[in-house]
Structure 1
Amino acid sequence: MLSDISSDILAFSFDGLSSPTIDLKFRAGPQKGDHTHGWGLAWYPADTRAAMVAKDPAARDTVSLKDAMSDWEGFRSTIFFCKVRGAASGYTHLETQPFTRSFAGQDWVFMHNGNLDKNALSKLHHNKSIFLEPLGRTDSELALVFLLGRIQDAGARTLAEVDHKVLAGWFGQLDDLGSADMAISDGVTLCVFYGSNSQSELYYSRLKPPHEDEAFTSDAASFAISNPRDTFRTALVFSSSPFQTGEWTKMQGGQLIIARRGSMVWTNKDAVKPKTTPASQQVAPAATAALRSRGFNEAQAQSQQLSIAQSLQQMGNVSKYVINTRSITQTPDGSPLLYRLYDLVHSTEYAYEKLVEHSTHIFRLLPVEDQTQEVIHSTLSLSVEGEDVRFEDVFGNQNIHYSIIKPYKSLTVSARSLVKIYASPPDDYRHARRQATIPISWMPWQNQMMEPYMLLLEMPETQISELMIYAQSFSERNGRNLMETLNDINQTIYRDFSYIPGSTSLSTTPFDVYASRKGVCQDFANLFICLARLLGVPARYRMGYIYTGANYENKIQSDASHAWAEVYIPYIGWRGFDPTNGIMVTQDHIRVACGRNYLDATPTSGTIYRGGGKERLRVQVTMNEVFQT
């Protein structure tokens, strides 16, 4: 094994333009002769594809580094590479990292900590293009042109165009030739590889806002995200040494992490995967339970299920032409689609200090009736007599306007519904009209119809600009893929924001939630809606309920009305995203009212014209899945 030159590396991937204060530390210890440390810093000013590099191969301190970072406007970037080389002599700018190379219309930045067998690497680099010849004499630059050669051979122009496993395989080839701690970026994607034979360590951490003035310090470097414009930036940071604050994870030998816009998009080790059960094991028990709920015993249910499956096979492609979604009984792979039956009770109790002499109320408590949701039975009970007017509002919600002129001190409103939720086949986005990328192209009349779901809440321009940067970071790191972007927003709000009841109010704006990183379901729905609209995707607010059950992993909002977001996708329709729980809306949710925002869809609202005084409110929701025997 070749002995590594002692080096420290530091790499950043931010979700938006940032200018961290960075100070690289020279390791303590005696130096011999003319040996110097040297340092290098690379970034992409203003998020362009042209990289800026500052180097000092003969440095004995970091004064020149701080001078290079003095122009803060020119120092703003989403990608940063830093390296301090250990003691060595004879190095020039050609051999000082990070290296840059213009290729495929952009600058590529690369750094390497370790030593590779240069002779073996020269044989491995079979792409002899005149544009892929190393300028210096280091194994590190030869590794860079090897990777670029592989990218050219694959017909790719960016890292995002290369299959993740293929990319890991290329790093694996370098890993076989020595110690290969490496980082490479094309200005958008950051790839960091930790070699199996490394004689040093490599750590990573995801730093979430809001950031304070506190600096992060390690043996290798110190940095702070202290620029006021960067208060809400998210960063994925890689370092040779863990910092004293934050949660740092040590990379495993042979691990590749691919990051984009402040978030990990792929890794070949320690990937967080939800616990799933194969469909073949899931379907039978669920199917049997659903059939039992319709009056079959277990043996009859299994026999009926087999009979249905055989009938569906005989039908061939007939289900392709079924218009009623409830009549589609299987997915394209043959898995049964079964309904779930829920018993829902929503009770609201008002108590007042003084008699209420006159009040009016709006109740939106009747679940939606459509192709995937069927209301078998629904009743509304009120403890005080009044005059009711039933109507459908402009959003399609069923409303009851209730006027009370009889004095009262307490009012109980109780709604009970028995609801079926039908399963649907997965959406197919392969059709050309079902646009898969952002921005979405709309016809003029579609724009006019969707205008209410595209307008933002009034907020200061600076706040909207900050939210726009945040929204675009999701689109950028997902290659502008529509569904991947929306799923990323959904998962990120669930992961990065804290559910804290009472931390917000009806006047809380999406920016307030973004800045504080906390809220409740309606806040997370509003933030999701705001980000989707900023990306040109129509979004609306949905009120309803969620069933969590005994075995459900996340029980947030199981005992009250729930809120989530719905987006309109061309030639698909409205689809629900629940950022409070980080899931898509399927058969766990009962849909009730929708609108532009909370005020359009609130379950109960009203006005007291005379009397009342101080009010006490109590809301109770119970939702149970029904299995009939």
Structure 2
Amino acid sequence: MSEKDHPLFSDISSDIFAFSFDGLSSPLIDLKFRTGPQKGDHTLGWGLAWYPADNKAAMVAKDPAAKDTVSLKGAMSDWEGFRSTVFFCKVRGAATGYTHLETQPFTRSFAGQDWVFMHNGNLDKEAIKGLHHNKSIFLEPLGRTDSELALVFLLGKIEDYGARTLAAIDHSVLLSWFLQLDDLGSADMAISDGVTVAVFYGSKSQSSLYYSRIKPPHATEGFQSDAASFALNNPRDTFRTAVVFASSPFASGNWTPMQGGQLIIARRGAVIWTNKKEAPSKLPVPPQQPDRPSALSSPILQGGPLEKITERNALFASVQAQSQQASIVAKLASMSHVQSNVINARSVTHAPDGSPLTYRLYDVVHSTEYTYEKAVEHSTHTFRLLPVEDQLQEVIHSTLTISAEGEDVRFEDVFGNQNIHYSIIKPYKQLTVSCRSLVKIFGQAPDDYGPAQRQARFPISWMPWQLQVMEPYLLLLEMPETQIAELLVYARAFSERNAGHVMDTLNDINLTIYRDYQYVPGSTSFSTTPFDVYANRKGVCQDFANLFITLARLLGIPARYRMGYIFTGANYENKIQSDASHAWAEVYIPYIGWRGFDPTNGCLVSQDHVRVACGRNYLDATPTSGTIYRGGGKEELRVQVTMNEVYL
């Protein structure tokens, strides 16, 4: 039953609103139920649809029997899920008997995403059924309205056309479908696939339809009309632009009436196509009111540094006390609207879910022994053996012992690695280099990928200066173009099967290399390329790290090589690399930082890994390297690494 077929339709008003933003927004929308003399038992209804965080699944909130807008405001409360680039809203009077099935907007899953649809008017239901030639069981209406019949007709046309999105449909073809419905009655319609918004104004419409492009700066008082009001007063929406469609013009802004038979297609806050030239608006345009200055000012409390405490129990007592103090401060902050954050990661004792975060202590010994057939008279060496010192890794002490007398120069290289350049000045036939380190690895809460700036999906956008800094970690090793093209297809397959989700894609690459590639010592050399590893499906940790780095860079993610150690006392199926240095990959995630992936063991880098040196590739991060200028002859090399966990 259509709205006009209902016996009480003459007393029912109906308004539709559609928004297309250029970025995620959370407009404050309020609907005004029109009042007047009514016959019979009337209720008031509304419906709201949006795509949280631009996901393909739409969120729909409806109340077919509302008496006021209290439930609507509750649905749009300021929570993270109410952020989208597309919003559809409809308010209308409803008679007793209307349910959610008859309340708009309608939504239907089709071609891998939810489609949202609104209609204001009255169409010949039997005639629509005659047009609806696609009899797919997935395109059967659930309710009893002509509006839903119009939706399944359009989806049937899209399926017959072979398209999966509105962007894939020729604009004129899409218009022809709307015109077919326009011949059957009044047809003010709006449809969206979550990215594109298409709005059609029927030539026989009994109401009006306007549109406007809202640009910053936004007036704090927002926009008011007889049917609704909306405002962009969320600080995150300061620079948002939107194309807005409404059944009635608002008191401020430039609102253009749509012409009969006009189709407007909008995407990301801009009109990209219309079949009719814009008619000059005859509506009065009041001057915009200046924005009021923001009165928000929230100081951030920062705690002072902890005194260095050598006794472990005393340290934990201090940490627990500080944690309790921070909890009290947080409670006070929540009461006074002051935000407090613990910024020293080592002092955080619990993850957000309440699980404890403790450190682990390792004793690592890395010993390298060179033996030569003839005495070496002159050689120079570079040692990168000192573990990283940062918020999550603390070096209690580290000593380097070199068996031959020489001169050393200590420096930090461009990658932040601590280097010792060593020049040996006396002949030797055997050289032993041994580094012993006692290292703490602190626990870290799982990363939160919720904030939009962290860009959970491809493609990842970079600022120009970020690209400059990250350029060394985005350039590929030189290989034939055909090999790179093949690896690109391989990399894209991970992204496509994970729907472009960044972390899911990276985890998939990590686990696939672990599962599909064989660890074979001696099967590769320093000249082995990532394509060789891909083609042969075997290698060692260095090769797997290089392949992971290449695939990440092909997807536009900066990646670097990391050398360190792994504690294999953990319950890994693949307990390897316990007697030598280990290698893995690190990628940079916007507003997260560098995160490690260990494809050799199919795991994320955690408290089992001790980080030492990093760089673009192995050469930048090799633990020991050198050049013999005179003497030496045949060389024998023996490397041994022992890593034990220390319990206090």
In the alignment, the residues of structure 2 paired with residue 128 and residue 549 of structure 1 have an alpha-carbon distance, to the nearest angstrom, of: 71
Q: Which residue does 2:9 correspond to in 1?
A: none
1:557/1:147 Cα in 2 relative to 1: closer, same or farther (>3 Å)? Answer: farther
Q: Deviations over 1:181-224 (max 9, x none)?
A: xxxxxxxxxxxxxxxxxxxxxxxxxxxxxxxxxxxxxxxxxxxx
| Partner amino acid, structure 2, of 1:146 | I
How far apart, in 2, do the equivalents of 1:342 and 1:583 lie?
19
Note the 1:572-587 alignment, pairs <5 A.
572-587=592-607
TM-superposed CA distance for 1:308, in Å, is: 8.2
Equivalent position to 2:590, from 538, 548, 570:
570
CA–CA separation in structure 2 for the residues paired with 1:619 and 1:150: 71
Q: Deviations over 1:106-141 (max 9, x none)?
A: 9xxxxxxxxxxxxxxxxxxxx9993541xxxxxxxx
Distance 1:132 1:469 in 2: 36
Query: Residues of 1 paired with 2:320 and 2:467: CA distance?
Result: 47
Residue identity matched to 2:528: T
Asked if 1:146 is matched to 2:137, the reply is yes
Q: Deviations over 1:503-535 (max 9, x none)?
A: 000000000000000000000000000000000
Q: 1:444 is matched with which residue?
A: 464
Distance 1:588 1:341, change over 3 A: same
Where do residues 260-339 of structure 1 align in structure 2 (5 Å cutoff)?
314-316=328-330, 321-339=341-359
Q: Which residue among 349, 356, 365 is the counterpart of 1:345?
A: 365
Residues 416 and 128 (structure 1), Cα distance of their counterparts in 2 relative to 1, 3 Å cut: farther
Amino acid at match of 1:549: G
* 1:405 CA displacement: 2.1
Mean Cα deviation higher: 378-387 or 312-321: 312-321
Q: Which gives a bigger RCO, structure 1 or 2 (Cα 8 Å, sep 6+)? A: 1
**Which of 510, 513, 517 matches 2:530?**
510
| 2:432 counterpart of 1:430 | no
Alignment deviations for residues 479-517 of structure 1 (CA, whole Å, 9 cap, x no partner): 111111111101110110001100000000000000000
Cα deviations across residues 398-436 of structure 1 (Å, max 9, x unaligned)? Answer: 000000121100000000000001111211111111111
**Residue 390 (structure 2) pairs with residue 388 (structure 1):** no
Contact 1:522 1:598 in 2 (8 A): yes
Measured after TM superposition, the shift of residue 350 of structure 1 is 0.3
| 1:399 paired residue number | 419
Match of 2:488 in 1: 468
8 Å CA contact retained: 1:546, 1:590: yes
1:316 is displaced (CA, Å) by: 3.9
Could you tell me which of 119, 132, 136 is aligned with 1:130? 132
After the TM superposition, which residues 148-187 of structure 1 pair with which residues of structure 2 at under 5 Å, given as runs?
none
Task: State the secondary structure of the residue aligned to 1:549.
Answer: coil
Question: d(CA) in 2 for partners of 1:309 and 1:324?
Answer: 12
Contact 1:500/1:518 (8 A) holds in 2: yes
CA distance in 1, matches of 2:340, 2:450: 16
- Match of 1:600, SS state, is helix
1:486 matched to which residue of 2?
506
Distance in 1 separating the partners of 2:581 and 2:554: 27
Contact in 2 for aligned 1:345/1:414 (Cα 8 Å): yes
2:565 paired residue number: 545
Amino acid at match of 1:490: N
Shift of 1:554: 2.9
Q: 2:453 is paired with a residue of what secondary structure?
A: coil
Given the alignment, which residue of 595, 599, 622 partners 1:602?
622
Indicate the residue corresponding to 1:376 in structure 2.
Answer: 396
Q: Residues 43-101 of structure 1, C-alpha deviation per residue, up to 9 Å, x if partnerless?
A: xxxxxxxxxxxxxxxxxxxxxxxxxxxxxxxxxxxxxxxxxxxxxxxxxxxxxxxxxxx
1:616 aligns with 2:618: no
Alpha carbons 1:561, 1:621 under 8 Å: kept: yes
2: distance between equivalents of 1:295 and 1:325? 17
- Per-residue CA shift, 1:345-386, capped at 9, x if unaligned? 000000001110000000000000011100000000011110
**Using a 3 Å threshold, how does the CA distance of structure 1 residues 405 and 570 change in structure 2: closer, same or farther?**
same
Alpha carbons of 1:460 and 1:406: their partners in 2 closer, same or farther (altered >3 Å)? same
Q: What SS does the aligned partner of 1:489 have?
A: helix
C-alpha separation between the residues in 2 aligned to 1:516 and 1:379? 40
| Secondary structure of the structure 2 residue equivalent to 1:586 | coil
The DSSP-based 3-state class of the residue aligned with 1:321 is coil
In structure 2, the CA distance between the partners of 1:105 and 1:478, relative to structure 1 (3 Å rule), is closer
The question of 1:420 aligning with 2:411 is answered no
1:132 and 1:149 in contact (8 A); partners too: no
Distance 1:490 1:149 in 2: 43
Which runs of 5 or more structure 1 residues have no equivalent in the other structure? 1-102, 107-126, 134-144, 162-292
Q: How many residues align?
A: 358
| Residue 334 of structure 1: how far off its partner (Å) | 1.8
**Cα separation, 1, equivalents of 2:461 and 2:596:** 21
Identity %, equivalent residues: 72
Residue in 1 aligned with 2:611? 591
- Aligned mates of 1:620, 1:539 — CA distance in 2: 28
Q: Give the superposition deviation at 1:325.
A: 1.2
Larger Rg over CA atoms: 2
Tell me, yes or no, if the aligned pair for 1:455 and 1:533 is still in contact at 8 Å.
Answer: yes
Unaligned runs of 5+ in 2: 1-108, 113-128, 143-150, 165-309, 334-338
- The partner residue of 2:575 within 551, 555, 568 is 555
Amino acid corresponding to residue 520 of structure 2 in structure 1: I
1:204-247, CA deviations, whole angstroms, 9 ceiling, x for partnerless residues?
Answer: xxxxxxxxxxxxxxxxxxxxxxxxxxxxxxxxxxxxxxxxxxxx
Shift of 1:553: 3.6
Q: Is the 8 A contact 2:509 2:548 kept in 1?
A: yes
Counterpart Cα distance in 1 of 2:626 and 2:474 = 28
Instruction: Say which SS state the counterpart of residue 452 (structure 2) adopts.
Output: coil
Change in CA separation of 1:410 and 1:494 when aligned onto 2, cut-off 3 Å: same
Amino acid at match of 1:446: Q
Q: CA RMSD in A?
A: 3.2
Distance in 1, matches of 2:434 and 2:402, equals 7
Asked whether the 8 Å contact 2:319–2:347 carries over to 1, the reply is no
- Provide the rounded CA distance (Å) in 1 between the counterparts of 2:623 and 2:566: 15
Q: Output the CA distance in 2 between the equivalents of 1:320 and 1:487.
A: 33
1:453 is aligned, of 451, 464, 473, to: 473
CA distance in 1, matches of 2:324, 2:406: 55
Residue identity matched to 1:324: N
Q: CA deviation at 1:321?
A: 1.2
Separation of aligned partners in 2, 1:507 and 1:387: 32
The CA distance in 1 between the partners of 2:141 and 2:399, in whole Å, is 66
Aligned with 2:492: secondary structure? Answer: helix
2:624 partner letter: T
